[in-house]
Chains A and B, each alone.
Chain A
Amino acid sequence: MTEPTVRPGAVVDEEVALLPSVAEERISVATQWQLMWWRFKKHRLAMLSTVIVFLFYLVVVFADFLAYSDPLASEAQRSLLPPHRIHWFDEGRFAPHVYGLTGKRDPATFKRVYTPDPEKKIPVRFFARGFEYRVFGLIPMDRHLIGVEGATAEETLFLLGTDEQGRDLWSRLMYGTQTSLIIGLVGVSLSLILGVFLGGISGLYGGVLDTIIQRVIEILRSIPTIPLWMGLAAALPNDWTVIQIYFAITIIISLIGWTELARVVRGRFLSLRQEDFVMAAELCGCGQMRIIFTHLVPSFLSHIIAATTLAIPAMIISETSLSFLGLGLRPPAISWGVLLQQAQNIQALAISPWLLIPSIPVTIVILAFNFMGDGLRDAADPYGQ
């Protein structure tokens, strides 16, 4: 978009905007994006959701920093420990600590059982040193948001408990969030490319090509997808590396979302083609490419953004479902689905309900994306209230 064509006097603060005449003037000179932003701001739930989504992507960026123990470090002895509670105050002073665990061997089962010991107070430190990682893959670092000094089985912190292999669930959840949300974004970008390309062709050229693409979309939409994706995912060779599988799964998942996006793009192209400003551009001798990219695309870009936002949750659910079945990402990769895989049966749930915790961020993020997309869609509609 070009710079907003706002007269100097029209830049007013919120208080003055309450006066009707000034407000009206402000609206009439505002750009399309400003109007959208104002409408979007009025949608409280969408604003809140946007903040939540933003926070989740902060986790994606700083997963290493937020995790405090190596997500892959397993220790059979501390398997399935329940979540630790942080005690923030110690005798009135602010001194966050957790109770240490005392391990005893159960005389009946010979299993090591850990119980919290109120006598052993282990201080929790902020910006503590922990395992080494690289910030943005470049700068070596070993500071973490929280942590305890000297990590042994009895003394380590387990905010959300541990899994069967004794790995810390909190740290794994941070990395799982990173993986699942990145897959959502990459998957949606791939579907967007496919959808815009095929939908654009369909809407622009019409005729036989349009009919064929529309029928293909209809056929794809009437096939139960999960069995098919399961088949495709299961066919990935066993000797592939984690990275290869990661990409393959992303591609498989992106094959789901493009049909909806293609339909939105086509619909927009079809309705905009009839508009007067397109004919005016044609009469002025604009080339096809110029009409598409300087006249058509800006006027439906906002709709595409809204549709894309609404497509992301489907991607996340697909990845989570596939990994949950053991056909998507496989350990040592960590994603929400991989984490939930451990909570697959009733026995596991009965003994260690905290393994179900990863379902909370899944739900929150999907809801947030849905509300955000709804808000964007309403804001993008120029005829909405």
Chain B
Amino acid sequence: MLAYLVRRLILAILTTWAVSVLSFVVIQLPPGDYITSYIAQMSSSGSFVSEQEANALRQQYGLDQPQYIQYIRWMKMVLQGNFGMALEYGRPVAEVIGDRIYLTMVVSVAAIIFTWCAALPIGVYSAVRQYSWGDYVATFIGFIGLAVPSFMLALILMYFGFTLFNANIGGLFSDEFAEAPWTLAKLWDLTKHLPLPALILGLAGTAQLIRIMRANLLDELGKPYVVTARARGLSEGRLIIKYPVRVALNPFASTIGYLLPYVVSGSIIVSLVLSLPTVGPLLLKSLVAQDMFLAGTIVLLLGVMTVIGTFISDLLLMWIDPRIRFEGRQ
């Protein structure tokens, strides 16, 4: 068990490191550096930065140093909680991002919870009533979920929301709560707005999970222990929930590992369409404006949060599945 834990932890740390390097690459990729953008920013607002001033600034920020030293400096800054300045806003990056990163995670986690809640009963139903009418409907919806990219689903739902109900279904808050400080009422408002983005983001994952669940459960249902339990007179409902479903439940924990990055990715685009106040719109804006500290930080934070989420799912998996817990002992 300890070996498994350590291995996972090392992988998580390695991944975090890889994410940080990639984020740094994103920051460094555009031509010019922070100071070039700064000068452009200043001159667009009418100020002038002389050559000497620019060079002094470069030295101050260490931009005349080789890349790897710049990376280390940046990491040092980040570890101290200083993510640099967001050019476009003239404010520290941390301040600009603010709540948005948490809201991104709230939306993503809501999507995964939706995925579980929908996939478990539907998957069990499809397996127990294989080739029934309901099974076909579930399969069909599943395929639509797989085939329609989430942003397109958002567009289509928005169109129908507008034409049929004359309502704008976007956003995470009602107007009166958008800028308000956190209160219970605001939290409730958020809860009311969450289901739709969760559905849109979760549908593709749900489709996959239903298929996995169905296949796993079908394998289990034919096994002798099920026949035995049935022969001993256990009621069908109890029998299925108590034994085969528990075994088939495994993918639920193990899929967070790849579901989470997928959902976080999707949330970026869906947020744009539904105008959710997550980091998605901010990331796009910062990339278009080449505000690279902001963009790099967002990529970094998203990556790190995903790594943490994945690690939690590993712990969960270990708790659910004794085969992993006792792996090292045999």
Q: Which A positions have Cβ atoms within 8 angstroms of B?
A: 215, 218-228, 230-232, 234-235, 237, 313, 317, 320-321, 324-327, 340, 343-344, 346, 349-350, 353, 356, 359, 362-363, 366-367, 370-371
B89 at interface by CB-CB < 8 Å? no
User: What is the minimal beta-carbon distance from A142 to any residue of chain B, in angstroms?
Assistant: 35
B195 at interface by CB-CB < 8 Å? no
B261 at interface by CB-CB < 8 Å? yes
Residues of A contacting B310 in the complex (Cβ-Cβ under 8 angstroms): 222
Nearest chain B residue, comparing its CB with the CB of A233: B287
Q: Which of B147, B163, B168 contacts A363 (CB 8 A)?
A: B147
Question: Could you tell me if B151 and A324 are in contact, using CB atoms closer than 8 angstroms?
Answer: yes
Residues of A contacting B31 in the complex (Cβ-Cβ under 8 angstroms): 237
Question: Could you tell me if B265 and A234 are in contact, using CB atoms closer than 8 angstroms?
Answer: no
Question: Could you tell me if B18 and A219 are in contact, using CB atoms closer than 8 angstroms?
Answer: yes
Question: Could you tell me if A350 and B162 are in contact, using CB atoms closer than 8 angstroms?
Answer: yes
Q: In the assembly, what is the distance between CA of A236 and CA of B14, in Å?
A: 28
Q: Knowing that A234-B290, A340-B152, A349-B162 touch, tell me 11 more A-B residue pairs with CB under 8 angstroms.
A: A223-B15, A223-B261, A224-B260, A227-B264, A228-B22, A230-B268, A321-B149, A344-B273, A349-B159, A350-B163, A362-B149
Question: Could you tell me if A232 and B29 are in contact, using CB atoms closer than 8 angstroms?
Answer: yes
What are 13 A-B contacts defined by CB distance under 8 Å? A222-B310, A223-B15, A224-B260, A224-B303, A227-B268, A231-B287, A231-B296, A324-B151, A327-B284, A349-B158, A362-B149, A363-B144, A370-B146
Q: Which B positions have Cβ atoms within 8 angstroms of A?
A: 11, 14-15, 18-19, 22-23, 25-26, 29-31, 143-144, 146-149, 151-152, 155-156, 158-159, 162-163, 168, 170, 257-258, 260-262, 264-266, 268-269, 272-273, 283-284, 287-288, 290, 295-296, 298-299, 302-303, 306-307, 310
Q: Which of A225, A227, A234, A340 contacts B288 (CB 8 A)?
A: A234
Question: Could you tell me if B152 and A219 are in contact, using CB atoms closer than 8 angstroms?
Answer: no
Question: Could you tell me if B261 and A321 are in contact, using CB atoms closer than 8 angstroms?
Answer: no
Question: Could you tell me if A321 and B264 are in contact, using CB atoms closer than 8 angstroms?
Answer: no
User: What is the minimal beta-carbon distance from A98 to any residue of chain B, in angstroms?
Assistant: 26
Residues of A contacting B283 in the complex (Cβ-Cβ under 8 angstroms): 227, 230
Residues of B contacting A349 in the complex (Cβ-Cβ under 8 angstroms): 155, 158-159, 162
Question: Could you tell me if A356 and B265 are in contact, using CB atoms closer than 8 angstroms?
Answer: no
Residues of B contacting A371 in the complex (Cβ-Cβ under 8 angstroms): 143
Question: Could you tell me if B265 and A325 are in contact, using CB atoms closer than 8 angstroms?
Answer: no
Question: Could you tell me if A370 and B143 are in contact, using CB atoms closer than 8 angstroms?
Answer: yes
Q: Given A359-B152, A367-B147 in contact, is the A326-B288 Cβ separation under 8 Å? A: yes
Question: Could you tell me if A224 and B306 are in contact, using CB atoms closer than 8 angstroms?
Answer: yes
Question: Could you tell me if B155 and A219 are in contact, using CB atoms closer than 8 angstroms?
Answer: no
Residues of A contacting B307 in the complex (Cβ-Cβ under 8 angstroms): 222
Q: Given A223-B19, A224-B306, A228-B22 in contact, is the A235-B261 Cβ separation under 8 Å? A: no
Q: Given A350-B162, A359-B156 in contact, is the A235-B26 Cβ separation under 8 Å? A: yes
Q: Given A223-B306, A234-B290, A359-B155 in contact, is the A321-B269 Cβ separation under 8 Å? A: yes
